[in-house]
Amino acid sequence: MEATSSTLPAAQESGRRLRGSVLVIIMVALLLTAFLEALDNLIVTPALPRIASSLHGFDHYTWVVTAYLLAATAVVPLAGKLSDLFGRKGFLLGGVVIFLLGSGLAGASQTMDQLILFRALQGLGTGIGIGLVATVVGDLFSPEERASKQGLLGIVFGVSQLCGPTLGGWITDHGPLVAGLVAEDTRWRWLFYLNLPIGLLALLVLWIFLPGQVARRSGFGRIDWWGAGLLVVATCSLLLGLSARSSDWTSPPVIALFVAAVVFYVLFFIVERKAVEPIIPLGLLWHRIFGVDALLTFIQGMVLIAVFIPLSLFLQGVLTLSPTEAGVLITVLSVSLSLGAALAGGIISLRKRYQMAAIVGAVMMTVGALLLAIMSMTQQSNILLIGFYLVLVGLGTGSFFAIQMVVAQNVIPQTQLGVGSGVIRYLSQLGLTLGAALMGIVVNGAVAGDMGTGLPATNAARLALSGVLQNGFGVVLVLSVLVLIATLFLKDVPGAQPEGE
């Protein structure tokens, strides 16, 4: 690739000179921004019924979530590419500003349409700026140090999974009242206002302490605007189609969305082959190790969401556990995800190798998924054993939070760190969305037919539900096996590759 003497990002050179408290302060600010991003959807979900009631917008209920995800996912690869070209710091800070602006406006929304618009603005900020956190970590730390730091980001994700829904429900029910601004039925506004003090603190710290980055090239005319537009349209078409309920997937509008997604993705790849500055350099995807890592990321995202969807239904509908007991077991899974990320990051940092950590994580995830699939055949399961199975799944799945980004950042040129990290993040989000849709096909339709409007009340109904959920856990097992097979094709690389295609 074309390069100049200033190609090596100044951020990494500065990062290696940073020591002690300054580096710690920057890392804390980066973790806070990542926490806000990971928390934002989870904390809002429990409040959606109250929000829809307050703003009289039940007919647009799901768009509060969908608008955020569409904007956040579609813009990630573009933000990564532009940060490679023009420097990381400005895009990171700009994205945080947009996210905070969207948060403040979402909290002040007076109609459902306003809330959806401002949630999309939040998502845009997330995709542009907060999504660059993992890339900035790659800039600041050497390949040998990245694993433990990416593991910390995995812990942040796990903690947000753990406390997000509970915190969202508590604020919605018990948040503080402010005369003329927040009433009893609008306590949900604090879900958005909460981002402001934390985000402003992180923004100030990053603005003062984060090193700048020398732009590799200048000139917006060289940006692949056609590729960017096609990728955004293709992504939005796919996510809108996947967001439809499984019973609607045969309708002409949904089919049209999927057809449009295929057409625009094909056009995107055709354009990228000829682009001077492609949004996603196709050479990255043909790189053996990066390609395997991208596939791992995509499938592991599907595994993560596919475990959570049938689990609560199995615990309450088949094993007749109380919501509190089911919540404890789900908490065990969430904690294990964070622990798996931390352990994998530490092990990779010590041994300077990641393939064995990936294989061990995949084996644990596969064994746990197999045991869950076997467990779903019976209505008499030991809670302690279920907890153990979930720990296996959580440790194995969580380990990839640290592994995915480390592998990507160690095998790509330093000048492509932004776009490479963006591709990994983009595929992870697509995997989560596709996994939820796939599990909806496997579970939702059959469950609706067998259960009617409530949890099964008879042994026969529970047995029927158990059979349906066994199929769901079987999907998790198949996906886990695919992850395990893919890890066998990884190869340990000690550091980033030289510049060039």
pLDDT digits (tens, 9 = 90+) for 267-297: 999 999 888 888 888 888 888 899 999 999 9
Could you tell me if residue 1 is inside a domain? no
Residues 478 and 352 in one domain: yes
Residue 179 has pLDDT above 80, yes or no: no
Once rounded to an integer, what is the mean pLDDT over residues 372-398?
84
Residues 95 and 135 in one domain: yes
Q: What is the pLDDT of residue 271?
A: 93
Once rounded to an integer, what is the mean pLDDT over residues 437-452?
64
Residues 30 and 45 in one domain: yes
Residue 100 has pLDDT above 50, yes or no: yes
Read out DSSP for 421-452? HHHHHHHHHHHHHHHHHHHIIIIIHHHHHHHT
Q: What is the pLDDT of residue 366?
A: 96
Residues 267 and 154 in one domain: no
Could you tell me if residue 313 is inside a domain? yes
Residues 456 and 498 in one domain: yes
Residues 398 and 251 in one domain: no
Residue keyed to tokens 């990066």: 290
CA 236 – CA 248 distance, rounded (Å): 18
Token reading at 142: 């050497």
pLDDT tens string 72-96: 888 998 899 888 888 889 999 999 9
Q: How many CA atoms lie within 13 A of 211 on its CB side?
A: 21
Q: How many CA atoms lie within 13 A of 448 on its CB side?
A: 8
Token reading at 384: 């302690």
Residues 119 and 208 in one domain: yes
Residues 292 and 320 in one domain: yes
Residue 498 has pLDDT above 50, yes or no: no
CA 302 – CA 305 distance, rounded (Å): 6
Token reading at 292: 């395997």
- Among 165, 181, 215, residue at a domain's last position: 215
Residue type, 81: K
Residue range of the domain that includes 208? 7-215
The number of distinct structural domains making up the chain is 3
Element (H, E) at 360: helix 355-375
When computed from its CA atoms, the radius of gyration of the chain, rounded to whole angstroms, is 22
- Among 234, 250, 276, residue at a domain's last position: 276
CA 152 – CA 150 distance, rounded (Å): 5
- Among 276, 300, 315, residue at a domain's last position: 276
Q: Which residues contact 340 (CB under 8 A, 6 or more apart)?
A: 154, 361, 394, 395, 396, 397, 398, 399, 401
Could you tell me if residue 2 is inside a domain? no
Residues 290 and 420 in one domain: yes
Q: Bigger pLDDT: 313 or 117?
A: 117
Q: What is the mean pLDDT of the chain?
A: 83
Q: Nearest Cα to 373, choosing from 478, 482, 447, 484?
A: 478
Q: How many CA atoms lie within 13 A of 127 on its CB side?
A: 26
> Can you say how many angstroms the Cα of residue 283 is from the centroid of all Cα atoms in its chain?
24
Residues 102, 388 contacting (CB under 8 angstroms) = no
Q: What's the length of the chain?
A: 501
Q: What is the CATH number of the domain that holds 112?
A: 1.20.1250.20
Residues 292 and 409 in one domain: yes
